[in-house]
Amino acid sequence: MDATNVKVLFLDVGGVLLTNGWGHKSREKAAQLFNISYAEMNTLHDFIFNVYEIGRISLDQYLDFTVFNHPRDFTKEDFKAFMYSQSEALPDMLPWLLEWKRSGCAFRIISINNEGKELNDYRIKKFRLHDVFDAFISSCEVGMRKPDPGIFQLAMGIAQVNPDQCYYFDDRVMLTETARGLGINAFHHTDFNTSKSIIEKL
């Protein structure tokens, strides 16, 4: 691909710039900290989390279904505070992108991420992701989630680009394969230095 033809850099957030917002490791920690059944919570999570991520229910409704379906000796606010605390910046990638953007990066940078609204809003504000991204294609706002090809097509439509004008980085192979099937130049993000090397060639 001719690098001068690249118009947009699409990036996942969880697993690339930040830790996952509410991954299985965080759920295991929550179960231990709050003394609840991980197996039960996780089974219910698998039923309902996709519905939360496409914006059809709120975080409170998700928690009513997965955690507060029994009387608890802790509050929903306590549990939500723990959930938010699980979000951390991964080493290197976010500060490097911020510096690259400030140095006069000529390309638009747009996120394509699966995230529930409250977690998404918190992470954008907490880590100042507006300083990196020109737009956010978040599942909770558009009613679709990866690997639905529609979310990638929507992102390209919003950016007004063709697939060959895009680079996409995601930490999940299945999602890069979905994007690649649409003609997008997609790369599996495994570590900072590898992805940085590819991006710098732009």
> How far apart (Å, rounded) are the C-alpha atoms in residues 157 and 160?
5
Thinking of the domain 24-85, which architecture would CATH place it in? Orthogonal Bundle (1.10)
In DSSP terms, which residues pair with 167 in a beta bridge?
Answer: 9, 185
The dihedral built from the CA positions of residue 63, 112, 173 and 180, taken in this order, carries a sign that is positive
Render pLDDT for 63-118 as a digit per residue (tens, 0 to 9). 999 999 999 999 999 999 999 999 999 999 999 999 998 888 778 999 999 999 99
Chain mean pLDDT for the chain: 95
Q: Nearest to residue 50, comparing CAs of 38, 64, 62, 41?
A: 62
CA–CA–CA angle 140, 120, 179 (5° rounding): 60
Q: Is the pTM of this model over 0.95?
A: no
> Which three-class secondary structure string do you get for 151-166?
HHHHHHHHHCCCHHHE
Cα(135)–Cα(13) distance, integer angstroms: 12
- Per this entry, what is the length of the chain? 202
**How many angstroms separate the CA atoms of 146 and 113, rounded?**
7
Per-domain boundaries in the chain: 3-20+89-200, 24-85
pLDDT at 4 over 60: no
Region 15-30: mean pLDDT is: 96
Whether 3-20+89-200 and 24-85 share one fold: the answer is no
6 band by pLDDT with thresholds 50, 70 and 90? confident
The predicted pLDDT at position 201 comes to 87
Percent share of the chain, pLDDT over 90: 90
HSE toward the beta carbon, residue 153, CA cutoff 13 A: 7
CATH superfamily membership of 3-20+89-200: HAD superfamily/HAD-like (3.40.50.1000)
Mean pLDDT of 14-23: 95
Q: Is the pLDDT of residue 167 over 80?
A: yes
